[in-house]
Amino acid sequence: MSFIMLDNDVLNSAALSLRAKMLFAVIADKSRLDTGYCTLLRSGLAKILGCNEKTVDRALKELHEKNLIEKKPIKPAEHLTYNHYRPTEKTGWKIQTQETKGGIPKTDSPVQNGEGVSNFDQVGIPNLDRGVDKNDHHNQTEKNQTEKNQTEKNQTEKNQTEKNQNLTACAVEQNVSETAVVQVPSRPPPKPRKSRGAELSPLREREPENDMERVEKAYIKNWDWLYSQGKVKTADPVVNYNQTRALLKKHFEKIKAEQITAAVNAGLHDDFIMQGGYSLSTMLSASVLNRLINSTSKTSSLPDKKSLGGMEL
């Protein structure tokens, strides 16, 4: 069982927090025999104290501002730096290393003020020169070596991780650059959509293929005749063919195509239809279509076959 004794200046200091005093004791206890420095990382100190690394940082700052510890920057790589800590001579802590004999240090013990009083005695660690058990010294050396190996292993893993991240970032950047120079083929411009009138215009030059086109063919021929007579102003009728074809499809369920064609022709002689601009939609409405088909009144303005260019009504 071992214990740690604090220097009176540290123990009785009202300017130091309890956490800072405990951290000082840990640094003194964990200082290596060969250098006098505590090689534990901030995470290791935090684990011993049972706190987080920010609390350790504040405690280190307290001790450093009071000149109770000194730090030694360690830079194992260009982009990495961490610190080792040990008590300052102000606290009576001083490293005195003698010549080694046979490759094993004879004494590497911290002494107080150069007077030969071992500070290890103060913190409750037996002095190696006073006949302590050699197993204790061996265990401490083995512990220090294990901590050193673990630190080097952690550093190697960290360096490898950062190297892999850098390689990944370079590969992504290269892929982005290569992607940027790839030319995406442009899409051809969309073809202009033909108006419904343009789609039906071939009906003027060809024979209709179904009942729906037969009705539309009759309507277009009538429109051409009206245009030639100056009774309508546009060469093509303004028709919503989606609407008229829907009406025709519904009428074909009960009425023959020939009857609807006759009604479209009869619209030429209907004042209501002609005043409305000879609209196909109007003629295909249920009430108007019924009147055009079933009306018994006679009309007197029916154009003859010669006037319609030989077209049969």
As a whole number, mean pLDDT of residues 7-13 equals 82
Q: How far apart are the first and last CA of the chain?
A: 124
User: What pLDDT does residue 284 have?
Assistant: 92
pLDDT greater than 70 at residue 181: no
* Choices 1.10.357.10, 1.10.10.10, 2.40.10.120, 1.20.140.10: CATH for 8-154: 1.10.10.10
| pLDDT higher than 60, residue 106 | no
Q: What is the pLDDT of residues 57-89, one digit of tens each?
A: 999 999 999 899 998 898 888 788 888 999 988
For the chain, give every domain's residue range. Answer: 8-154, 196-294
Look at the pTM and tell me if it is higher than 0.85: no
Question: Would you state the pLDDT for residue 263?
Answer: 92
Are 231 and 276 within 8 A, CB to CB?
Answer: no
Give the pLDDT mean for 27-38. Answer: 85
At residue 125, φ and ψ (nearest 5 deg) are -100, 125
User: Which of the residue ranges 26-35, 98-107, 244-253, 282-291 would you say has the lowest mean pLDDT?
Assistant: 98-107
pLDDT at 300: 42
pLDDT of residue 280: 92
- Report phi then psi at 252, rounded to 5: -60, -20
DSSP 210: S
Q: Average pLDDT of 269-276? A: 91
Closest by CA to 10, choosing from 70, 126, 92, is 92
